[in-house]
Structure 1
Amino acid sequence: MSETINSEIVCFGGEDWWYHNRAHIDFQLMKRFAAKKKVLYINSIVMQKPKISQGKNFIKKLMRKSESILHGLQKTDEGFYVFSPLSFPLHHIKRAKKVNDLIVGFQTALVCAKLKIEDPLVWVACPAAADIAINMKKSKLVYQRTDKYEEFPNIDSTIILKYDSALKQNADITFYVNEKLYNIEASQCKKAMLIDHGVDFDIFANAEQIIDKPEDMADIPGPIIGFFGNIDEHLFDIPFTEKLITLMPNASFVFIGKTLSNVSNLKNKNNVWMLGQKPYDKIPQYGKCFDVAIMPWKQNKWIEACNPIKLKEYLALGKPVVSTPFPELNKYLTVVYTANTPEDFANCISTAINENDLQKKTFRRKKVQGDTWDQKAKLVLETLQTIEV
């Protein structure tokens, strides 16, 4: 990796290192940048309005963020530093928001001083960090526009769009992973580039070489229809999936990931296994057990602007994939089945189950073999070298 850009990076992340899926693009890139640069990853600043009415879910979210803050500043095994600042979801209250920015900015400055970070490249994946990032001392400003946060539930869309606009106008470059969103918004940016997501190709493609299965998968009868990732009713179409499972009583449906919504109807079905969240490095061992991998997404503006990393991970595993449609999927129609109804989805699964021969697996893997995270990190750094401030 080149040394011609600043050797220090501060990333205001879109996720929290301590409890989110570590496949996300900001984690993946910072891990690779840290091989040659000093990297500080600031865990996500809370954007959603608190809803005490959520009861247990509200308490759970409060506890996990509190635990994240208590980790303090730590260096990860991946080589970069992680810090969770104390912050409050008060973006909709103007005066409180200014105080909150001062608090987060002060904590960030203290940590940067401790790490001797003086003039970093600042990377923003979380729109809520906009004003802090824009106003802090830096060599360059990068905006990662990989999700439409303004479409997320319990968000003040007007405020998030204001942050988004400020970042696009001030960032030296804005990176996109969704071609449709890039085409719509590129003209709003000082400079914009479409980079697409990457994949940890080798660990997924080589997973089937390990003979042993995870213990909690060993006794699940086939065929296995699998999904890994969070089940969130904003993204994952739960009623659609319930009907799909009812249509296929002789198949086993396995879900790997956190359940963030009510899935009691899914859990009550005899052919469903909910195995919970697993460490990222264990996901390929679970995915290799799938006969077909699925993505039953809701049809909304968030999904329209998405580019799920799991699609490339499924293909790197060599698995047949069935999905509800979304724009980025159009690039993969030679290796993915699409269906709009549970009935069509079930028919596609029934066909795909018989397509696990070596030739088809190899064809799917070749579709994503050139999209490794190492290559994406190299492309980003080469691009940053060309930008003059």
Structure 2
Amino acid sequence: MHERLMTQPHALRSPSKANSEKPLLVCFSHLRWDFVWQRPQHLLSRAVRHYDVLIIEEPMFKSGIKPHMDVSARPQGVTVAVPMLPEGLSREDVIAEQHDLVEALIGREPSGSRVFWYYTPMAMAFTSDFECDLCIYDNMDELSLFRGASQELLDLENALFSRCDLVFTGGMSLYEAKRSRHRSVHGFPSSIDFDHFSQARSIHEDPEDQAHIPRPRLGFFGVVDERMDTDLLVEVADLRPHWQFVMIGPVVKIDPATLPQRPNIHWLGGKHYKELPRYLAGWDVGFMNFALNEATKFISPTKTPEFLAAGVPVVSTPITDVVRPYGEKGLVEIARTAEEVVAKVETILARPRDAWLAKVDRHLAQGSWDKTWAAMHRLMLNAAGDAAGDRPAAASLPTYATTPAE
């Protein structure tokens, strides 16, 4: 159970935060805090050392309710606020209701120092007239290339680039694509919670739903969506029917009924972050079968260093931010076709691991989520002094951000 908090205008009324002297960091996110543990959770659970962190998620819709904000605490020290709206509202009314609920929660003008941290440009539609001392866009993905991306998203991202003081990118290929769009863009590729994932190296007991699956096992964990090359999975599974493919993760934006079924493909569903080392401990090879499409052009998969920290060798399709640096350093095997995947896996299964693992550990020692957050925070502190004076007014928003086209 999450601790429910009272919502009152212009403040978070958590007893632990009522007299807090920390600045407020308000994150606008298209990802649910309680979904897959990934970049936002890694960073913002560390931000609580310096800020009172409020995550404002996308709305949820239910019939027969009045608009309200569902506010609850999380064990990591953040507070999550979800706009709860009645079904059937127009797009214009959804934006207006979100605006009013956010204003009631934090106030249009800050009562103290506050930072806005955006993961979704769509939040600009209802936050552009709210004031902040520092505005940050942590650009995880090239959202415009995802299936169903709208012109409104592109226009709102342009408005966010105009407003924000700092842009962080989730990988170096995305940094290269975005660095000319803002005066202060900084690449922060996926980092690693080494202590958590390295537990897999000393675990020798399988979870119940994996224990019956024979070896060798090739595993994937993460969101299952249009970024996964299921055709490649089928081809490899058919070429090596005695290999077992363990696929972990929630299915999003695609019909689960379309997932390929084979005796040696095992869809185990989503697992909690804390459970992942137990599953990885029983895998012989990690399989990152990403499709090569627009949605994966600039991704920097967090799972790459997580596999490595767990001591699991990886075969990946040639995603740019996997090839550089992991493929070039010989830490990850790169394969484009099913035949290449088979050859790479057979190489991994036959080779000794000690020399490879020593090289992995030398590389992983260079980074951590703690170091990533510390570097981001230094940039934030440096930018905070003159940020508000340099920020353009919100007049650059597209007109349909508050009055959508029919």
- Name the TM-score, length of structure 2 as normaliser: 0.81
Tell me which of 375, 384, 396 is aligned to 1:379: 375
- For 2:166 and 2:128, how far apart are their aligned partners in 1? 13
1:350 aligned to 339, 342, 346, which one? 346
Distance in 2 (CA, whole Å) between partners of 1:267 and 1:147 is: 26
**Counterparts of 1:292 and 1:275 in 2: how far apart (Å)?**
17
Aligned 8 A contact 2:146 2:294 in 1: no
Contact 1:339–1:345 (Cα < 8 Å) also in 2:
yes
CA contact (8 A) 1:45 1:129 kept: no
Q: Does 1:259 align with 2:257?
A: no
Structure 1 spans left out of the alignment, 5+ residues:
47-61
C-alpha separation in 2, matches of 1:76 and 1:200? 19
Is 2:124 aligned against 1:130? yes
CA distances 1:19-38 after superposition (whole Å, capped 9, x unpaired): x2012x12211111113321
Deviations 1:81-106 (A, max 9, x none): 0011146999xx9xx55543321121
Q: How far apart, CA to CA, are the structure 1 residues paired with 2:300 and 2:353?
A: 27
Deviation larger for 236-245 or 116-125: 116-125
Look up the equivalent residue of 2:232 and give its one-letter code.
F
Query: How far does residue 45 in structure 1 lie from its aligned partner after superposition?
Result: 5.6
Q: Does 1:180 align with 2:157?
A: no
Aligned residue for 1:84, secondary structure, equals strand
- In structure 1, the partner of 2:80 is 82
Distance 1:118 1:75 in 2: 21
- Tell me whether 1:191 sits opposite 2:166 in the alignment: no
1:244 paired to 2:236? yes
Relative to 1, partners in 2 of residues 1:356 and 1:236: Cα closer, same or farther, differing over 3 Å?
farther
Q: Distance in 2 between matches of 1:313 and 1:355?
A: 21
Shift of 1:131: 3.4
Kindly state the Cα deviation for residue 170 of structure 1 after the two structures are TM-superposed.
Answer: 1.1
> Structure 1 pair 266/15, CA: closer, same or farther in 2 (3 Å)?
closer
Larger relative helix fraction:
1
Alignment of 1:22-171 (within 5 A): 22-23=37-38, 25-44=39-58, 72-86=70-84, 97-112=91-106, 118-156=112-150, 158-171=151-164
What letter is aligned with 2:127? Answer: A
Q: Name the CA distance, whole Å, in 1 between partners of 2:172 and 2:242.
A: 38
**Are the structure 2 counterparts of residues 194 and 265 from structure 1 closer, same or farther at C-alpha, using a change threshold of 3 Å?**
closer
How far off its partner does 1:342 sit? 1.0
Q: Which letter maps to 1:76?
A: R
Quick one: distance in 2 between partners of 1:360 and 1:39? Answer: 39
Q: Secondary structure at the match of 2:83?
A: coil
Whether the 8 Å contact between 2:171 and 2:300 is mirrored in structure 1 is: yes
Larger radius of gyration: 2
Q: Is the 8 A contact 1:124 1:133 kept in 2?
A: no
Residue 17 of structure 1 corresponds to 33
Tell me which amino acid in the other structure corresponds to 1:28. H
- Percent identity for Structure 1 against Structure 2: 23
User: Structure 2 CA distance, aligned partners of 1:16 and 1:151?
Assistant: 21
Aligned mates of 1:355, 1:286 — CA distance in 2: 22
Report if aligned partners of 1:307, 1:328 keep a CA contact under 8 Å in 2.
yes
Contact kept? 1:44, 1:126, Cα under 8 Å: no
- The answer to whether the 8 Å contact 1:318/1:362 transfers is no
CA distance 1:119–1:131, change in 2 (3 Å)? farther
Contact 2:24 2:51 (C-alpha < 8 Å) held by counterparts: yes
Contact 1:122–1:141 (CA under 8 A) maintained in structure 2 = yes
2:220 counterpart SS class: strand
Q: Call closer, same or farther: CA 1:266–1:163 in 2, change over 3 Å.
A: closer
Q: Check whether the contact 2:218–2:285 (CA below 8 A) recurs between aligned residues.
A: yes
Q: Give the deviation of 1:264 after TM superposition.
A: 5.2
Structure 1 residue 267 displacement after superposition: 5.6
1:213 paired to 2:201 = no
Amino acid at match of 1:120: R
- Residues 272 and 210 of structure 1, relative CA distance in 2, 3 Å threshold: same
Please give the alpha-carbon distance, in whole angstroms, between the structure 1 residues aligned to 2:186 and 2:180.
11
Q: Whole-Å Cα distance in 1 between the matches of residues 255 and 97 of structure 2?
A: 35
Deviations 1:293-326 (A, max 9, x none): 0111111122111101011111111211101112
Query: Partner residue of 1:52?
Result: none
Report the AA paired with residue 181 of structure 1: L
Quote the RMSD (CA, aligned, Å).
2.8
